[in-house]
Amino acid sequence: MSVIELRQVTKTYHGDVQALRGVDLTVEYGELVAIVGPSGSGKSTMLNLIGTLDRPTTGIVRIAGHDIATLSDRQLSALRAKHLGFVFQQFHLSPGVSALDNVADGLLYTGTPRRVRREKAAAALERVGLGHRLGHKPNQLSGGEQQRVAVARAVAGDPPLLLADEPTGNLDSASGAEVLRILGDLHASGTTIAVITHDMDVAAWCPRQVKVRDGAVS
């Protein structure tokens, strides 16, 4: 069973704007893949579908074997909580909240007790090299460290699939390289990772590139 499967997927907005045109894509468990294309190519629409944040107009999107068109909003939320982790270009950390609790709060919807959430959060921060920054708040962390907190939050629940949307887009080259190193380590430990990017250097870092242009995959 594939972790991501798109079959003849289309997405139309406002009645006539075709963001995706008959996309086929399969990503197997354990892959590290870049979904790469310029702004407006349709890659963000693909991210929203793969992340179960939107549904296709036509075609089939299966995530971890589940056809997302057949699931209720509650079931989609459960699927995201169990199977998906998200890392965005913007860090989306809560200001005034420690790194530990920013990560632990990402597990709120899993039904995990608070003590266990904080234990998992501490382990995830240790994994990304921030075990010494548990009590630091976002304004006490560099941009690279904030993105590493965001990565820790995404993987604290051990999801099989991590979606990283322009994960180095707001970082200097050294911080970006460190985030890619951490993503590489996570992949080596078994996490399937899809990186959505317009940065050809980031795409080239991934063993597989899926190129998106004008709503189609090549």
Residue 103 has pLDDT above 90, yes or no: yes
> What is the Cα–Cα distance from 125 to 192, expressed in whole angstroms?
19
> For position 16, what pLDDT does the model report?
84
**CA dist 210 to 26, 117, 133, 200, Å?**
10, 35, 36, 12
Instruction: Give the domain CATH number at 176.
Output: 3.40.50.300
Q: Which residues contact 136 (CB under 8 A, 6 or more apart)?
A: 98, 99, 145
Contact 192, 160 (CB under 8 A): yes
Longest CA–CA span in the chain (Å) reads: 52
Structure tokens at 170: 């707001």
| DSSP symbol at 3 | S
Q: Is 199 exposed, middle or buried (0-12, 13-18, 19+ CB in 10 A)?
A: middle
> What is the Cα–Cα distance from 204 to 19, expressed in whole angstroms?
25
pLDDT (tens digit per residue) in 194-208:
999 999 999 999 999
Mean pLDDT, rounded, for 162-168 = 95
Structure tokens at 80: 């995201």
> For position 218, what pLDDT does the model report?
84
Contact 174, 144 (CB under 8 A): yes
Residue 166 has pLDDT above 90, yes or no: yes
pTM: predicted TM-score of the whole model, two decimal places: 0.93
> For position 109, what pLDDT does the model report?
78
Phi-psi region of 170 (alpha: psi -120 to 50; beta: other; left: phi over 0): alpha
Q: What is the mean pLDDT of the chain?
A: 94
Which range, of 18-32, 109-123, 137-151, averages the lowest pLDDT?
Answer: 109-123
Question: What pLDDT band is residue 112 in, cutting at 50, 70 and 90?
Answer: confident
Structurally, how many domains does the chain consist of?
1
Residue 15 has pLDDT above 90, yes or no: no
CB atoms inside a 10 Å sphere around CB 75 = 13
Contact 148, 130 (CB under 8 A): yes
Residue percentage of the chain with pLDDT more than 90: 89
Mean pLDDT, rounded, for 30-59 = 95
> For position 14, what pLDDT does the model report?
83
Tell which residue, 188, 166, 194, has the closest CA to residue 3: 194
Residue percentage of the chain with pLDDT more than 70: 100
Tell which residue, 194, 197, 200, 186, has the closest CA to residue 152: 186
Domain limits at 173?
A: 4-217
pLDDT (tens digit per residue) in 168-188:
998 999 999 999 999 999 999
